[in-house]
Structure formats: structure tokens, C-alpha cells
Structure 1
Amino acid sequence: MELLLGIDMGTGSTKGVLVDTSGSVVATETIPHSMDLPRPGWAEVDAEAVWWREVCAISRALMAKVPSGGVLGAMCVSGVGPCLVLCDADLRPLRPAILYGVDTRATAEIAALTAEFGAQNIMAEAGTVLSSQAVGPKLEWVHRHEPDVFDRARGWYGSNSYIAAKLTGEYVMDHHTASQCDPMYVTKDFDWNHQWAQRICRHLPLPRLAWPSEVVGTVTAEAAAATGVPAGTPVAAGAVDAYSEAFSVGVRAPGDQMLMYGSTMFIVQVIDEYYSDPALWITAGVERGSLALAAGTSTAGSMISWLQTVTGGASFEDLMAEAQAVPPGSEGLVVLPYLAGERTPVFDPQARGVVAGLTLRHGRGHLFRAAYEGISFGIRQILERFDDAHAGTRTVAVGGGLRSPIWTQAVSDITGRSQLIPEQAIGASYGDALLAGIGAGLVPPSTDWAKIAREVKPDPANRALYDELYAVWSELYPATRPQVHRLTSMDPG
């Protein structure tokens, strides 16, 4: 029996799955972890002590569960991203990995690179404005603020490409991750922007490019000893975790969308031709030659967890019961969920949360429902921009936030879209296993393991109310932006 190993290094945990070539799950493993927040605006992970150590531990645990007669045919690893891992010649990280858009330290570098290359030129070449999501400004930040680290570096990696290098010794990056290394990649050409990339990378070489399912090497003897994976096992390039998760639930045709309910919300939509919008991210897709639009919020489930803490730490079940007792619309309470700034389509690290319409009759349940509705209004705002490129035809919902009985229904009611809930909820590691199987030729490229368990449909009775509240919500940010920015400047953080 041929088996496939998929591992994903997420924001809150590393997860692994061992499956057979039909997609049947043999075993799973999970190790929780957290990111480090050493300073305001910084978000980091120790790539070796967390990511590599956990990949090794999960690999060993899953290899111990290979049934009699089973043979590992291939493996693939995905991870949070886009991130920046700078390593020396021996593949030792020289500083903690700088995480994706939640790390906002490179504001000055975003402005400097935009001025240097020109905002319009960046849009024309990269297809996306520079933001905290981009890797180019993070590289520039290290060069400016930690020059000794930059000078000693001999390679730069994303989370999954760092692990691929540890497993195989190959210096490679998947096209999708590279397409989020703005402004260093020309998405419409599926290639590095060699002039700009070398300017930013300076002495650092550019990684070889590969598609996520492409086998980039095999497990070395040294990696085999660390992971328990047999030497010579093919390793596929992998991708950023959200895209592996979209792939795992069959989001592959133009118009297919994935809504990922997590600490933040991330949205991926496959499109049929190149499209550039300064309020969104245009990226290379998972499959060879494909394109996708992406968007992400800065908070979602993390705001719900924060509310749970500051309102007394009641159980999730009690809080949901209170929120369910509140009617749709939260009796005139509206929330801007910008507790950590906002990514798409606002791109404002200085944005902050706003609660409007609060009265003495509102209680904890109102706040929780209004928070879910505020997040959902943000999703509607994003999906309307997606529709300008390619109308969404099929929406699949994934992630831990699906356990909320309010959240998915609010999204469907507010956006007017049905959502398909898959039967298999393992996540990106399941997509990684499929990518490994495709890359190693163990399953056909068209293989889709996704099965839909249920559908969340919009309630038409709530449409008029939510349309009215959405209009109010949409006016809140521009109306309060100057005052919020003044308050942000007063924050000693």
C-alpha cells in the first residue's frame, strides 16, 4: 500500500496526516505552538526550534503508524506565509522567521520601496501594492536594521521552502509563495523580476522556482535520521498553507472560492485570467500556470478569543448561547473588527476597532453577535471586489471557526452566498498529501478527494436588514479614520 505524508505548519499548530492514495486517512498528529510577539507590530517564530523540530516529531510519530505492508511514496510540507527565514551556509536560521502580514514592522521600507520603484510600476509588474504581506520590504528591513544578520545570510526562504531545504538540501521556492514576495516576482510571467529582486536581495541568490506539486528533491540521509522518513522519499515543493487547504477541498476551477475561518480570515478564489486590483492580492495558484486572487483580514477568531477573555472568560458554549439569543443585526450594534489594523482591502496598519450604537441595554451576547457580523461585513466587502475579476460560482468554507453556530450563517446571510462545508476537515496537510501524490505520479493530476457534507444557505428574511447595516458599516471606517489615526499615534506601543 502506497502512503502519502502531508504536514502543515500553521499559526497555532503543526499538523500531519498519513493517507493512502484514495485519500483515506491512516493517522494524524498535531503539535500546538504559538507565535512570538516580542514588540508591537512584530510577529515571529523560531524556524528551527518550532517548525523543523515539529516536522521531525510529527514525521517520526506518523512513520511509527505506517501499517504492515505500507510504503511511504512521497511527502509535502506547507506553512504560514509569506514569511522570511534567513539562513547561513549551513541552513541555520540567523534570526527568528518574520511572519506574514500580521508582522507590520516594515512600514518605512514599504514606503521607501514604493517611492524607489514607483507605485504604478509595482502594480504593473507585481500586480499588487506593497503591504505588510509582502516579503520584499521585510528583506529590506533586515538589511537596514540588522545588517550583520543580512551580511551573514546565504539564503532566504519561506516556511515551507525552509523545510524543503532541510529535507532535501535543495534551494527552491514554489511559484505561489514567490508570487507573494512582492515586488520581486512578475505574476503574469510566472518568473522572478530579476532586476528588482537582485536589488533587494543583494548578495543573496534567488531560489529556483517550482510548482507546489513538483518534486524538488528527495529526503537526504541526514534528514531521514532526524525525521524517520526513509532516505530517497520524493518531496514536493508545497505552498502557503491557505492554498494547500483550498486545494484539499477542491477549490481548483475558475470561480471556486475558499473561506478559511481562523484567527484571521483568508479568502482564495481561482480566476481564469490575469487581473490586478490594488485592494487585493494576485498570486500564482497551486496548479501549474494557474492564477488566484487572495485577501485576508488581520483579525477574526482572534477577536472572538479576545472578547471571551475581556468579558470574563465564560465558556465558548455559553457565549454562543447568549449570542444566539440576540436577533440578527444585534439590535443596532455595529463593529469594525480592526483590532490589529486591517489588511485587504483597507491596508491600514493604524486602523483600530470601533463599536458603534452601544447602549445600556446591550449585553455580552450583543457584542459577540455584532463581532461576528462585523467580520462578515468585511468578507462581503472583499467578495464584491473578487466578483469584479470573476464572479464566484462555488464557495467552500473551512477552518476552526466553523464550530461557531453564528459565524457561517452570518456570512451567508450578509453576502447572499451559500457555503459548502466539506466532510474532511483536516486542512492544509490533507492538501499537502494530495500534492505529494500528484507530484510523485501516484495519483492522477485531476484527483479530488473532497466530499461535501452540508450546505449553509442564506436566509432571505435577513437580507434587507443586513443590506442596511452593511451600508452603515461601510461608512464607519472612512468616517472615523482621522480620529482613529490620532488615537493610534497616542498609543505608546
Structure 2
Amino acid sequence: MKTYVIGIDFGTDSARGILYHLTSLRVEKQVLAEFPRWKKGLYCKPENNQYRQHPLDYIEALAEIFNGLLSDLSKEERLQIKAIGTNTTGSTPVAVDAEVQPLALLEEFKDNPNAMFVLWKDHTALKESDEINQILKTYSPDYSLYSGGIYSSEWYWSKITHIIREDEAVLNASYSWLEQSDWVPNYLCGNTAIDLVKRNRCAAGHKAMWNEAHEGLPSPAFLLELEPKFERYQLPFYQETFTSDAVFGTIDPSIAEKYGLSKDLKITVGAIDAHHGAVGAGISPNILVKVMGTSTCDMLIALKNMEEIIVDGICGQVDGSIIPDYIGYEAGQSAYGDVFQWFKQLQMKTMIDILGDTLNKEDMERWDERFFTILTEQASKLNPQADDLVFTDYFNGRRTPDANLALKSAADGFSLSTEPGHIFKALVEATAFGSRSIIERFQAFNVNIAGVIAIGGIAEKSPYAVQVLADILQREINVLKSDQVCALGSVVFASTAIGAFESIATAQQKICPRIARIYKPNLKNKEVYETLYTRYLELAAV
């Protein structure tokens, strides 16, 4: 008899679900569901760094995924789906009422962006993160010790503080706050009791300064010093956290009945998407997994019984945040694929403004499909030179090393001979220089990196970008044979939770995809990239 599990990965633009057959060890079906409100740009103000997502986008995406994955299954086969694992973006918190319902699902808040999920890339809380960092400098214990020593505007407490200051109605109506990675499994279980929410250690540790070393979350006294309005809540929000191999609960009976699923179907504890991606990529000690999407997330693991290494300026190190019984290290860049999309939109805007009425759908699709192909062809013909155009990659601020989301990108080396291919080449190199600075930060604290695995949209779709990365890092880059690695990570946890495998490591050996391609560094570019990287660091220091 066939046995299945489902893995669901909530990204920035869409959710992706896979139906995994545990007997044959293969993906039987996958479904992509876009977020319609997000696609229209609703509730977002890019000029203010405001990015919000409506919970209905997530609910509708789940329905589309279930309908798509289950459409070809018999009644008996649907009952053989034993578990669902999920992951989401983060830090993406939302205000909820006493029944764990996002406020935006209530009639009076349905169009209020402050009542929606505050997406990971939302930087409206710069002021609040500055205040948190000021308090942290003099506070004992040092809650930022395991969060890289700097708290970011992208993270949980910064965003919550900003919203409760800005919107009295949301403050008064909210009972608590949940990460998206906690809300999704809670929704699937139909739980309406806040005390029964199993908060995932991944988001709690990396985004909310939770750590066993200082007995959980920052103290009520710390939060009240930051903002007295926190007295509105029962603090701390939670104390216990769970790793993704734990079972969150069983599926909501109404969802089970609607789709013909077993009422015993297990829902596992969630996590941040990139962390499940690292597991799905087969992460092991000293192997850096780099998720190359709209932003990047770089992850390492180390055994707990090794001498503790505290790395300054990263996005945290947390026991069990990636794999139980290992310390999970996270770093990353706040803009990666977003940098290339910015350049694309910049070039498209004037053309559309001039020719908009005369451009048909086919013209726009051809432009969209060919844009990066043409730029890549142009950039590939340019041999790197010491006086080339250089950018910094801080288009959305700097996440690592040493978070500073107020930073702007800078460039040096423009001339009247600069063409689009030169700019694209420099942008690709800038993202690779940012990656190198992250690796050098780990190395500065004696964290060994023996290999690099690249996953995500850029790794899959842009051989040019990956080759430039290999040349600048002077390391081999392994790209995997799968476009659903994050969802596969959720499958690893879901299958282990139901006892299909004896351990996470065994599940990884069976489920994780093979290497599709190895990019080897081009030694002839080594010297010139050393010069360009030095210029990048000088420009970053300005």
C-alpha cells in the first residue's frame, strides 16, 4: 500500500506543495500557488519599505495546493497521506486574537496592512531596531549574544513594536503575535487556543532572541523598557520551543473531511523556509548551504558538544534550529534576486511609459522571457578588469555581516561607455562579493567551511551567476537536481515524525536530491577579482 507525506513551502511570491511517495522515494506531484493580492502589490508601499501579505493569500494557496495534489488520488490513497510538513518566510509575524486568528480575517481589519503578516523584507521598523540595539548595549543578560550581537529591523520584536506604536486599534484587538511559520501549522490543525501553539525554535531563536541560556525570550522588563505598551500582553508570549521533528498536532477535522484525508494525519512543527531548504539539501557539519532567491540565507551546522563558538554579526546560532542536536548558524543577504529584478524593472519602466498602449501581451512576455538571457550573453563576453564598475549589494540594506538595514547601495566606476551588460555584470559580482564577506566572517571566528551547496531560483536558473560566485569565492559550488528543496526539507521532517525513518540523517540520505552540476572556479579570474573585491570593501566602508 502506498504511503505519502506532503511538504509545503511558503515563499515570498507563492506557495509550493509536493506529494511525496515514501515507498518509491519520489515526488509524485507538485503544485505552485501564487499569492493573488501580493501579485497585485496590495498593502505594500515599496517607497516606505512596507511589505505586507494578507492571510487569505495563504489560505487560498493551501486550498489550491490540496486540490492540485489530491486530484488524481483515490479515496483510499488520500487516507494514506500520513503527515504534512511546512515552512514559511521569516521573520513574518502577525497580530492574532484570543482564538489565534489573524486580525486581518476580521471584518474591521480586513484592509488594514498593520493587521496582516509583516513580511520578512519589510523594513518599516528601522527606528525600533535602533532602540532595541541601544537597550541591548547596557542590558544584562545580553539577549543578542546568540543573535550576532545586533538586532535587525527584519525581525520579530522590531516589527511588533513598530505596529503597536503606529496602530492603537491593532494593539487593542491583538492577544498575541505569531510567526507565519507557527500560524500555518496551527491553521492546519484548527487550533484556537494560544497556549497550545507549538512555537518553532528556528524562528524563535533566530528572530526573537529566544535561547535556553537566558531562559527563553527577553524578559518582560526588557520589553517594557523598550515600549510600555507591551503591558497590554501576557508576557512572555511563550517559553517552550520545538524543533521540526516534533508533531504540532493532527489535522483540523473540517479540512480532513473537505479533502477526504485521514483525521489522524499529523502536522509537524514549522520553521523558516531556508532552514528546511538546508535540510532538504542534505546539510552536514562544515557544509555551507546557500539559498539563492530574492534574498539569500546561508546556513551551517555544528555538533553541540564541540567548543562553543560565538560568531559576531550573523543572524544567530541556535540549538536545533536546523537539525535537532546541532547548533544552527544563519547568515545572509537582504537582497539577491531582488537586485536583478530592480534592474529589470528600471529598464522596463521607461519603455512601458512610452509604448504602453502599443505593447501587446506577446510583446511583454517576449521582453520578460528574453531580458536576462540577453543581459547574460552581454555580461559573459566581458572579461573582468581591475577598473570595472563595482557595486555594493545593499539595495535592501545589509543583513550580514553586521546588520544595518538603513544602508544603501553604492557604485564606483561608471563612464559614458557603460552599457547594460556592464551594469548587470557588476550587480552579479556585487552579490557574490557579499557572499564572500559572509564566509570570511565565519572564518574569522574559526568556523571551517569545507564545501558549498547552492539551492534556490538563482542557482537553478542562472549558470552565469553561479559561475561568477564560484570564481569570486574560489570554491566549488554544488547545485542540486531539484527545484523543490525547501519542500523536501519539510518532507524529511514529516516522514521522520511518523517513524518512516529512524533519524533525520537517514531520511536525508533517502530523500535529498543528487548533485546536478559542480561549478569549478576559474583560476584566471582570481587576481582581478581580488582587486575588485578590495574595491567592494572600500566602497562598503564609505
TM-score (normalizing by structure 1): 0.90
| Structure 2 counterpart of 1:142, from 131, 153, 163 | 163
Distance 2:387 2:372 in 1: 22
Q: Which amino acid aligns with 1:160?
A: S
Q: Which amino acid aligns with 1:60?
A: N
Contact 1:220–1:232 (CA under 8 A) maintained in structure 2: no
Contact 2:314–2:402 (CA under 8 A) maintained in structure 1: no
Q: CA deviation at 1:8?
A: 0.9
| Structure 2 counterpart of 1:266, from 274, 278, 297 | 297
Question: 2:54 matched to which residue of 1?
Answer: 46
| Structure 2 counterpart of 1:90, from 78, 99, 105 | 99
1:389-404 aligned within 5 A:
389-402=446-459, 403-404=461-462
Question: 2:110 matched to which residue of 1?
Answer: none
The 1:65/1:154 distance shift into structure 2, 3 A limit, reads: farther
The 1:41/1:25 distance shift into structure 2, 3 A limit, reads: same
Q: Which amino acid aligns with 1:474?
A: L
Contact 1:271–1:390 (CA under 8 A) maintained in structure 2: no
Question: 2:272 matched to which residue of 1?
Answer: 240
Distance 2:239 2:169 in 1: 22
Distance 2:149 2:63 in 1: 36
Worse-superposed segment, 121-130 or 334-343: 121-130
1:361-440 aligned within 5 A:
361-387=417-443, 388-402=445-459, 403-440=461-498
Q: Which amino acid aligns with 1:73?
A: K
Contact 1:104–1:349 (CA under 8 A) maintained in structure 2: yes
Q: CA deviation at 1:119?
A: 5.6
The 1:181/1:174 distance shift into structure 2, 3 A limit, reads: same
Contact 1:341–1:352 (CA under 8 A) maintained in structure 2: yes
Q: Which amino acid aligns with 1:247?
A: V
Question: 2:247 matched to which residue of 1?
Answer: 215
Q: Which amino acid aligns with 1:295?
A: A
Question: 2:107 matched to which residue of 1?
Answer: none
Q: Which amino acid aligns with 2:73?
A: V
Distance 2:183 2:239 in 1: 11
Give the structure with the larger helix fraction: 2
Correspondence 1:61 to 2:86: no
Contact 2:432–2:472 (CA under 8 A) maintained in structure 1: yes
Q: CA deviation at 1:195?
A: 4.5
Q: CA deviation at 1:255?
A: 0.7
Question: 1:206 matched to which residue of 2?
Answer: 238
Deviations 1:169-228 (A, max 9, x none): 141111111102333x12657844454687576424427421112111100213324665
Distance 1:106 1:241 in 2: 22
Q: CA deviation at 1:346?
A: 4.5
Distance 1:198 1:361 in 2: 54
Deviations 1:42-85 (A, max 9, x none): 111112x1112211221232122336853101111110002111
1:6 is paired with a residue whose SS is strand
Distance 1:415 1:190 in 2: 39
Aligned pair count reads: 475
Q: Which amino acid aligns with 1:179?
A: G
Q: CA deviation at 1:124?
A: 3.4
Q: CA deviation at 1:279?
A: 1.4
The 1:197/1:55 distance shift into structure 2, 3 A limit, reads: farther
| Structure 2 counterpart of 1:116, from 114, 123, 135 | 135
Q: CA deviation at 1:374?
A: 0.8
The 1:455/1:51 distance shift into structure 2, 3 A limit, reads: same
Distance 1:334 1:119 in 2: 38
1:464-483 aligned within 5 A:
464-479=527-542
Distance 1:140 1:400 in 2: 33
Distance 1:190 1:434 in 2: 29
1:250-329 aligned within 5 A:
250-251=282-283, 253-272=284-303, 273=306, 274-284=308-318, 285-312=321-348, 315-329=371-385
Q: Which amino acid aligns with 1:342?
A: R
Distance 2:430 2:71 in 1: 45
Q: CA RMSD in A?
A: 2.3
Q: CA deviation at 1:166?
A: 1.0
Q: Which amino acid aligns with 1:298?
A: S
The 1:19/1:125 distance shift into structure 2, 3 A limit, reads: closer
Q: CA deviation at 1:150?
A: 2.2
Q: Which amino acid aligns with 1:50?
A: D
Distance 2:260 2:403 in 1: 43
The 1:117/1:299 distance shift into structure 2, 3 A limit, reads: closer
Question: 2:124 matched to which residue of 1?
Answer: 105
The 1:477/1:66 distance shift into structure 2, 3 A limit, reads: same
The 1:89/1:68 distance shift into structure 2, 3 A limit, reads: closer
Q: CA deviation at 1:151?
A: 2.7
Distance 1:262 1:227 in 2: 32
Distance 2:344 2:489 in 1: 32
Contact 1:175–1:190 (CA under 8 A) maintained in structure 2: no
Question: 2:392 matched to which residue of 1?
Answer: 336
Percent sequence identity is: 21
Distance 1:247 1:187 in 2: 23
Distance 2:215 2:377 in 1: 49
Correspondence 1:15 to 2:35: no
Distance 1:389 1:326 in 2: 36
Distance 2:287 2:159 in 1: 31
The 1:67/1:456 distance shift into structure 2, 3 A limit, reads: farther
The 1:196/1:439 distance shift into structure 2, 3 A limit, reads: farther
Distance 1:163 1:105 in 2: 24
Distance 1:113 1:214 in 2: 32
Distance 1:404 1:354 in 2: 24
Q: CA deviation at 1:422?
A: 1.1
